[in-house]
Structure 1
Amino acid sequence: MSRSRLVPGVEVVAVPGRGLAVRTADGEFLGIRARDADEDALLSLLSGAAAAPADGELGRVVRAFHGAGYLTDGQQHPKWPAARRDVRLLGEPVLTEPLALHLAALGAEPRTTPVRTAPDTSSTKTGDLLDGNPAAVVWCLDGPVPDGLWDAADRLPEHGVAWLRCHREGWQAYVEPLAAVPGDVTAAHVRARRLAATPAHRELAAYWSGPRTSGAPVRLTAPAAGLLAALLADDLGRWATGAPETAGLPARRRLRCVDLRNLTVTEHPVLPVPAVAPMPKQDG
């Protein structure tokens, strides 16, 4: 067998009087039944220092680790593919600036549109967002989403462009699912699902439409903006590199709410809203 290494987050520990145990990526401990296998040799194999034998007890244990997903012989950090490096960022600099830094560190090539020239509700067309042939468009708002602002952007997946966004409503910020292909969850879908899930749907719709009266403004702190930017960059990086989902809900079916008072993140499943069939015409 070829050499393999434990995947990040998986570790093996020697427990006095009980042999070896594996600590999984979820933080659970599982005992290793290695029978009469040499523990030092097993640790050497699991660390990738030596190739595992094709048969025998050591080979059996290593194959079990492979089957459980605890070992890898592939690249740990896949590179951001060139075809998906061009990422267009729109919105508030308090969010787009840290996001651009995260994306550049991951291997993308972000292009930031200053907020003063970002498309507005009345003039945005899908063609405007496709200018320069970006692989993805990310739009960050430090406030609620005005009616119609993201209608044109919701059509980006139909043109093969990934679409990701976030916005803030008071002390709550929302990181919406990444939409990469037709049929993925759009901003309009999230809006409809949120209205359907609350008994205060009239109030929520009125809040979105405005006007709103506020006291002292909520200001995004650097840690809060950094957290939102990190969540967006991670979602985009997983899409770009095809990294597998490791925990929680799938990124393209997940709405995350960040409580900006304590930076608590909660996840909510969200599905596309099926198209409504037109009412049949009645005779007469």
Structure 2
Amino acid sequence: MATARLAPGVALVTVPGQGLAVRTPDGEFLRVDTGTAAPDAVVERLTRGHGSSGDTAAQVPAQGSDSEGVGPTAPDAPDGELERLAAAFDGAGYLAHEGDGTRGPLAGRTVAVLGDDVLTEPLTRFVRAEGGEVRRAKRLTDLPDEQSPDVVVWCLDSPVPQGLWDEADRLPADGTGWLRCHREGTTAWLEPLAAAPGDVTSADVRLRRLAATPAHRELAAYWAGSCTDDTGPAHTAASAALTACLLTADLIAWAAGRGRARRLRRVDLRDLTVDEHTVLPVPAVAPLTR
């Protein structure tokens, strides 16, 4: 029979004077009524995994707990008691079976990654570690139409050249996710993920940033390339890993269907502090008439 052990994130806790409790992956503690089974035998059974439980109907409320737990239905021989406890844990979802395999939160999602290697390499590792399929490309036109990705992530270790992201800003209108980041001097800017018409695009972020600064003419000129060459400091391995982790977290939230946070985040590359500001799309307006 397949081996069944405690699932990842589940722990058994021996509480002095109280017996066993189970800590769930969400951090909740539930008392375990072990019946006639010795607590150490229960720990051995559920951590070493001998055989697999079959009857998953043996779930009963825990004794003396504020919340529902797992426990046996009635006293019996110790081996039968252990198996009923294992069945209760299995029914509650607290056991993992050998050969079950794991599916990461990005399983079944195709992520196209574009940009500079210092950022795209750690991002590629993280996405694959979470079960996603990665396609590397230099340009959007390198992605075949018949194999369009679920989301495009574009990472730059420099300011965004004028017009570079205009085409990508149209991706959400077609239902393709659009996530991006870039660096300006000692600041990395991470823009919110857009996945549907009306979501925040790169153009929206630029307009909001121009509206928020009295130096809007200077900032516009900087974006247009009317400045000296950017001599750094560029991303370090640590700042690139942090940036890639934040982007991966956005992808996981998107894949899980959680509401996309409309937040513009800034990473200070000097001390790796992160702050964020809410950003909204800019509504379309009719042209002025004379």
The answer to whether TM tops 0.5 is yes
Instruction: Tell me the TM-score normalised to structure 1 length.
Output: 0.65
- Among 263, 275, 278, which residue is 1:269 paired with? 278
Q: Name stretches of at least 5 consecutive residues in structure 2 with no aligned partner.
A: 72-91
Distance 1:39 1:161, change over 3 A: farther
Which residue in the other structure is 1:134 paired with? 148
Q: Indicate the SS of the match to 1:94.
A: helix
Q: Which stretch of structure 1 is more off in the superposition, 259-268 or 49-58?
A: 49-58
Can you list the C-alpha shifts for 1:104-159, whole angstroms capped at 9, x where unaligned?
Answer: 4434132232xxxx47xxxxxxxx37644421222111112233221211101112
Q: CA RMSD in A?
A: 4.4
Q: Name stretches of at least 5 consecutive residues in structure 1 with no aligned partner.
A: 64-68, 120-127
Q: Indicate the SS of the match to 1:164.
A: strand
Distance 1:194 1:11, change over 3 A: farther
Which residue in the other structure is 2:265 paired with? 256
Q: Which stretch of structure 1 is more off in the superposition, 72-81 or 168-177?
A: 72-81
Aligned residue type for 2:148: P
- Percent of residue pairs bearing the same amino acid type: 46
* Counterpart contact for 1:10–1:70, Cα < 8 Å: no
Q: Please identify the structure whose Cα radius of gyration is greater.
A: 2
CA distance in 2, matches of 1:229, 1:180: 19
Q: Indicate the SS of the match to 2:158.
A: coil
Q: Indicate the SS of the match to 2:157.
A: coil
* Counterpart contact for 2:33–2:62, Cα < 8 Å: no
Q: Which stretch of structure 1 is more off in the superposition, 222-231 or 17-26?
A: 17-26
* Counterpart contact for 1:129–1:153, Cα < 8 Å: no
Which residue in the other structure is 2:185 paired with? 170
Which residue in the other structure is 2:107 paired with? 80
Q: Please give the residue correspondences for 1:46-195 in structure 2 after superposition, counting only pairs within 5 Å.
A: 56-58=60-62, 60-61=68-69, 77-78=103-104, 80-81=107-108, 84-85=109-110, 87-105=111-129, 106-113=131-138, 118=139, 128=141, 131-132=144-145, 133-135=147-149, 136-195=151-210
Q: Please give the residue correspondences for 1:36-47 in structure 2 after superposition, counting only pairs within 5 Å.
A: 40=39
Instruction: Tell me the TM-score normalised to structure 2 length.
Output: 0.64
CA distance in 2, matches of 1:244, 1:5: 30
Q: CA deviation at 1:168?
A: 0.5
Instruction: Tell me how many residue pairs correspond in the alignment.
Output: 252
